């Protein structure tokens, strides 16, 4: 099979399209012929050498795919999957490839009306938004929710999930061109990030803030909460800019992040959560499984809409990551195989 391999840490040029052996089929898993794979900010950080959990190069990144089942493991529940099924799946790396081995527990059949590209946008981004909002944030009817990077892969999911649960959603975007798309997904208001950072928008009174930038943005998010409010920190995208890593930028981002001690939290009556979907996959698989069930029910009932902004062939994995890093996309960036 063909696979897009990170050969060393660096810019998009470190990718190489290589021939690799087909993965072994685990007894409790599925072998899937990949048709589309999702591209995430975590993948960029892996390539740059800023993601501690990533394998050492050379390795194949990628946490999510959609494709066709080519083989079913002997320990998979009989009748749950069969050869030829269209499935989406969350993975523990390896998704930028023509074939993957996926745990059956983290695979689901694709609703008929979704394309492979749309389905590949679901396992990581939608599950992250679901767990952040419903498991950690406990979003409720009438809550005021601020969602950073609302036009990104997680953002378009979070806006729809929060709105579907009766929240008043404020989406934050980096450019005016993205505002209308976010409103159409259910946001009551759309703010420009620069206006919020400059204090031109009232940043107080939120029940829940989804913060994807990290660094000093996390302090603004915390300050914007009302008492009993919660911040969900789901990334440090402000650490990534340009084609290659900047250790100075990474260190500056980490040092600019606030420190939340128990006294500070108690005096403010506010909470701070962090989410890493790889750790959810590893340590709380029931949360991942529950998220997939709820998400796909929403898609089957046509309450949710997949948004794919850009498609690149597998051979152009580097260009796909470069496009994601430019923040020019609305919705998901996917690779087609």
- Collect all residues with Cβ–Cβ distance below 8 Å to 56 and sequence separation of at least 6: none
Contact criterion met (CB below 8 Å) for 154 and 212: yes
Question: Whose structure tokens read 């440090």?
Answer: 236
Cis geometry, peptide bond prior to residue 187 (ω within 30 degrees of 0): no
SS (H, E, C) the chain: CEEEEECCCCCHHHEEEEECCCCCCCCCEEEEEEEEEEECHHHHHHHHCCCCCCCCCCECCCCEEEEEEEEECCCCCCCCCCCCCEEEEECCCCCCECEEEEEHHHEEECCCCCCHHHHHCHHHHHHHHHHHHHHHCCCCCCCEEEECCCCCHHHHHHHHHHHHCCCEEEEEECCHHHHHHHHHCCCCEEEEHHHHHCCCCCCCCEEEEEECCCCCHHHHHHHCEEEEEEEEECCCHHHCCCCCCCHHHHHHHHHHCCCCCHHHHHHHCCEEEECCHHHHHHHCHHHHHHHHHHHHHHHHCCCCCCCEEEEEEHHHHHHHHHHHHCCCCCCEEEEEC
| pLDDT value for 239 | 60
The pLDDT value recorded for residue 101 is 98
Q: So what's the pLDDT on residue 76?
A: 96
pLDDT by residue, tens only, the chain of 337 residues: 999 999 999 999 999 999 999 999 999 999 999 999 999 989 998 999 988 889 999 999 999 999 999 999 999 999 999 999 999 999 999 999 999 999 999 999 999 999 999 999 999 999 999 999 999 999 999 999 999 999 999 999 999 999 999 999 999 999 999 999 999 999 999 999 888 877 777 667 999 999 987 778 888 899 999 999 999 998 766 666 656 666 556 666 565 667 888 999 999 999 999 998 888 888 888 999 999 999 999 999 999 999 999 999 999 999 999 999 888 889 999 999 9
Map out the domains of the chain with their CATH numbers.
Answer: 2-121+306-336 (3.90.180.10), 125-278 (3.90.180.10)
Predicted confidence at residue 235, as pLDDT, reads: 73
Q: What is residue 217's predicted lDDT score, i.e. its pLDDT?
A: 83
Query: What is the C-alpha to C-alpha distance for residues 89 and 158, in angstroms, rounded to an integer?
Result: 19
Question: How long is the chain?
Answer: 337
């Amino acid at each position: 099979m063909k696979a897009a391999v990170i050969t060393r840490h660096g810019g998009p040029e470190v990718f190489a399209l290589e021939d690799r052996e087909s993965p072994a089929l685990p007894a409790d898993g599925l072998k899937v012929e990949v048709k589309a794979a999702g591209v995430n900010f975590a993948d960029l950080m892996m390539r740059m050498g800023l993601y501690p959990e990533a394998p050492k190069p050379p390795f194949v990144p990628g946490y999510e795919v959609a494709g066709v089942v080519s083989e079913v493991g002997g320990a998979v529940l009989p009748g749950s999957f069969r050869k030829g099924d269209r499935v989406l799946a969350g993975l523990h790396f390896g998704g930028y490839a023509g074939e993957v081995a996926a745990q059956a527990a983290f695979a689901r059949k694709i609703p008929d009306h979704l394309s492979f590209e749309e389905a590949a946008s679901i396992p990581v981004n939608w599950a992250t938004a679901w767990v952040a909002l419903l498991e950690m944030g406990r979003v409720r009817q009438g809550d005021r929710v601020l969602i950073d990077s609302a036009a990104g892969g997680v953002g378009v999911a979070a806006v729809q999930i929060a709105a579907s649960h009766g929240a008043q959603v404020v989406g934050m975007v980096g450019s005016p061109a993205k505002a209308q798309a976010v409103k159409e997904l259910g946001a009551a208001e759309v703010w420009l990030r620069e206006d919020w950072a400059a204090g031109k928008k009232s940043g107080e009174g939120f029940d829940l803030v989804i913060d994807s930038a990290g660094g000093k943005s996390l302090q603004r998010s915390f300050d914007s909460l009302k008492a009993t409010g919660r911040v969900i920190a789901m990334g440090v995208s402000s650490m990534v800019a340009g084609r290659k890593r900047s250790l100075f930028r990474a260190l500056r981002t980490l040092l600019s992040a606030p420190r939340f001690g128990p006294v500070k939290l108690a005096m403010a009556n506010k909470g701070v959560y962090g989410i890493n979907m790889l750790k959810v996959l590893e340590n709380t698989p029931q949360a991942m499984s529950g998220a997939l069930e709820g998400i796909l029910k929403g898609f089957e009932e046509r309450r949710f809409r997949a948004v794919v902004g850009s498609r690149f062939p597998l051979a152009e994995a580097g260009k796909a990551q470069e496009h994601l890093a430019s923040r020019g996309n609305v919705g998901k960036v996917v690779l087609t195989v």
